[in-house]
Amino acid sequence: MPDSKNLFKYIKSLLNPEKITEVKILETNSSSKLDRQMESIVKSPLLSRDLSWLTFNQRVLDQVQKPNLSIFEKLKFMAITASNLDEFFTVRLGSLYNYIDYGKQRIDYSGLRETQFRIKLLTKINEFYENRNQLYREELLPQFKENGFRIVDFNELTKEQQKEATDYFDSAVFPMLTPMVYDQTHAFPILLAKNLILGVVTRSKKSLLRAGEDDSRKLSFVQIPNNLPKFHTYIVNDEVLFLPMERIIIENVQKLYRNVKIESVDLFRILRNADFTLEESDDIEADFVDEIKQKIKERKVGRVVSMVIEDEPSNWMMKILKKRWEIDEYNIFVNKELMDFTRLWQIIGHPEFKDEMTAVRNVVPALNFDREKMQNIFSSLKEQDVLLHHPFNNFEPVLQLIEKAAEDPQVMSIKLTIYRLAKNSRITAALLKAAENGKHVSALFEIKARFDEENNIREAERLQKAGCFVIYGIGGVKTHTKLMLIVRKEGNKVVQYAHMASGNYNEDTSKLYTDIGILTTNPNYTKDISEFFNVITGHSEPQEYKYLITSPRDMRASVIELIQNETRNAKAGKPAGICIKINSLEDKETIEELYKASGAGVKIELIVRGICCLRPGRIGLSENIRVKSIVGHYLEHSRIFYFHNNGDPKVYGSSADIMVRSFDRRIESIFEIVDEFLKKQMILILKYNLKDNYNSYELKQSGEYEKIEAEGNVFNIHDEFYNLTKEEVATADLTKYFTKEVETEV
C-alpha cells in the first residue's frame, strides 16, 4: 500500500493537470526502510521531445504501407527512417549520455530523470526496430522477386557465381581488410561508427592440443570499409541479385586467419556520441576552425551509444564489449534482417531501376513571375515581390538572381548566410565568380552545421582564398537564418534586392523539401536586412527592425506578444485565432502561452511535422488546440505563422521553429509578409495544409498520432500545389477555422 501522504499527492495531481507533478508511490515494508521504488507516475502537460521524435520516425515508416507506392519508393522511406535513427542516436541519445556519464541532472518534459528516461527511450526504440524489421520481412521482402530483384545469401548462388564472388574478394576486397586483434599486448582498436564490423573469436590450433592451458581465445575485428559497394550484383534473366558484401567476406574470412581456428564470426554495427559542444573563443578565426576540425575527429572515438548485432552472438565477445563500452542490453539491438537499411539506396539507385521511382513533376512558375519576367529579373523584382513555394515553384529564380549578380557590372556587393550547401553548389560557384569580377562578397558561413562541418569549412576556405569576406559564424550561437542581399547601382541611385526564406541555399534539397522564399526590393525589407548584416559583420545594434524579428535578440518575446494579442482579443469578444506551420514545437514558455490562449477561447491550429511537446485537446488546458502532422512525398520544411488579429491577419515566414535552440542559441529570422497577394498565397498554403487528408495525422493528448482517413474526396497537398490559380489565392481565408468547429474539408 502507498503511504497516505503520497497517495493524497497522487490523487491531487490527477485533479490538477496544469502542473507538472512527479509522484513516487513507495512500498512500505516493516522489515526494511525501502525495498524498491515503483515507476514514477507523471501527469504532465508536456510531451517528451525525444519520444515525440520517435513517433515522427514511425510516421515516416508508415509511408512504406501506402498501396500506391512502388517497391522502390517504399525502400526509400525505409532507408530514410534508418538514417534518421542513426542521427537520433548520435545526437539525442548522445546528448543524454553527456548527462549520465558526467553525473549531471536532467528531467525530461515527461517528468523522468535521465537514467529512468534512458530505459524508457531505448525500450521505445527497440519497439520501433521490431516493428520496422517485421514490416521489412513480411511486407517488403515478398515483393522483391516480382519487381525484378532479390537480396541473396552466398549459398543461394550457383557455383559459377560463388567463384566470381570469391575471385572478387581475392583481387579487390582482401587487400583492403585489416584484422585488428585485442589482447594483452594490443590496445583495443578504434572501431568506426556506421561501419559494418566483424567480431572474430579465434584460437591457436596448437593450444587446442595442450591440455590444461588457460583460455587462449583471442578477439579481433575486421572493419568493412565504407568505400566498398554494399552489394555485389548479378544480372540473371532480367533479375538483379544483390549479394551483401559482408556475406562474401564472411565466406572467405578464414583467409585472414591462417593456421588458427575461428570459433565465431559476428556481424555488428555501432553508433557513437556525436553531440559535441564548443568552448568558443574571441581569438582569431583560425583557432575556431581548428577546434571544429578537432571535434570532428573526436566523433570517431565518442562513447558508444548503440550496437546492432546479428542473432546469437558470442557470449565471450559480448561480455568484453559491454564492459569496454559501458553498455547494457538496452543499448543492444538484435537484427535478423538487413544489418543497415541505409544501404537500400544502392538498390534504389541501380541502373536497372532508374525509371521505377515516381517521375519528378515539372515545376510550375510562381503565380506572378513567369519565365519572361525571370529573364529580366532585376527589372521584374522592382515591380513586385515574388513568393516561391518549393518544390512546386523552381529554385531557379534564386540561382538566376545570384548568378546574374555575379556577372552584372552594375552589382557592387552580395551578402548572404549559408547553413547547408549542395555538393556541387551553384551558389558557391556564383560567389567565386563575383569575387573574381571584383565585387564585394560577404558570406556568413555556419561551420557548426551538424554533419556538414567538413563540407562547409572546405567551401568557406575556397571563398576566402578567392577574396570573399567570410565570417565563420558567431560565438556561442549557430547561424540558421536564410537571408541574401544584393546591392546594385542603377543610374544615380542604388537598389537593393533581397531574398528571405525558410530553407537553405541548396538547389538539391529544394527539389525534395517544401519551403517558402520571398524575392523583394521593398526598401523596408532591404533596410532591415542591411542592418542585420551590419550587426553580424561589424559592430552595430539597431534599435528595431520594421519587418524582421531576429533571435537570439527578441524572437521569443515577439512570438509570445503575438499570441498574447490573440488572447486579449478573445477575452474582449473579438475574432481571434492562430495557425502555425513549423517543423518542431518544443519551447516551454511559448507552449504555456498557447495554453493560456486556448483557455481564453482562442482557436489554434498547429501543423507540426516532427517534434511536438504541446499536449492538445486536454480539458481545462488545451481543448481549443488541434495539432496535425503532415508526412508524405516531400519533406515539409516551410515555417509560417498566422495571427488573426481581429480580422486583419498578420502573416510571417520564418527560418525558425519554436524551440529553445531557435530562440536562444541560433541566429534566426521571422519576416512579416506585407504584400497583399503574397499574404494571400501564404494563407492558402496554410489552408491547403489544414485540408490535406492524405498525408495527415492528428496528435492526441496521449502523445500518439492517429492517421486522418479521407472521407470522400482525397486532398493531397503534394499534388494540389501544382494546380494553384490566382483565383484560388484571391479567395484564401482562414476565418471559419476560428469561428466554429471545423471538420476535415474534402
State the catalytic residues.
Answer: 480
Q: Would you state the cell numbers that stand for residue 711, as one nine-digit string?
A: 472521407
- The packing angle between helices 426-436 and 453-465, to 10°, is 20
The answer to whether residues 445 and 288 touch, using CB atoms and an 8 Å cutoff, is no
Q: Which helix (H) or strand (E) holds 266?
A: strand 260-272
Pairing of strands 386-390, 411-418: unpaired
Contact 199, 268 (CB under 8 A): yes
Distance between alpha carbon 260 and the CA centroid of its chain, in Å?
46
Q: How far apart are CA 539 and CA 705, in angstroms?
A: 47
Helix axes 114-135, 49-62, angle to 10 degrees: 0
Grid cell, residue 548, equals 524582421
* Other beta carbons within 10 Å of 165: 21
Closest residue by Cα to residue 569 from 740, 739, 742, 732? 739
Residue 343, all three cell numbers? 544501404
What b/e sequence results for 297-331 when a residue is b if at least 16 CB atoms lie within 10 Å of its CB, and e otherwise?
Answer: eebeebebbbbbbbeebbeebbebbbeebebeeeb
Q: Closest Cα to residue 536, out of 472, 461, 460, 625?
A: 472
Which residues, 6+ apart, have CB-to-CB distance to 496 below 8 Å? 485, 486, 487, 488, 521, 523, 526, 529, 530
d(CA 620, CA 674): 36
Q: Is the dihedral of CA 554, 560, 566, 568 positive or negative?
A: negative
Give the H/E segment covering residue 626.
strand 625-630
- 220: β partners: 181, 200
What number of helices (H) and strands (E) belong to the chain?
Answer: 23, 29
DSSP β-ladder status, 635-636 and 513-520: parallel
Distance CA 526, CA 397 (A): 18
Residue 648 CA: distances (Å) to CA of 561, 730, 741 = 16, 15, 21
Query: Which helix (H) or strand (E) is 493 found in, with range?
Result: strand 493-501
Q: Using the structure block, give the residue that is written with the C-alpha cell 540558421.
A: 480
What is the maximum alpha-carbon separation in the chain? 98
Cell of 538: 561589424
Three-class SS string for 109-178?
A: CCCCEHHHHHHHHHHHHHHHHHHHHHHHHHHHHHHHHHHCEEECCHHHCCHHHHHHHHHHHHHHHHHHCC
Distance, CA of 168 to chain centre: 38
Contacts of 439 (CB under 8 A, 6+ apart): 405, 406, 411, 412, 413, 414
Q: Which three cell numbers stand for residue 240?
A: 538483379
Q: Smallest Cα–Cα separation from 566: which of 643, 629, 681, 672?
A: 643
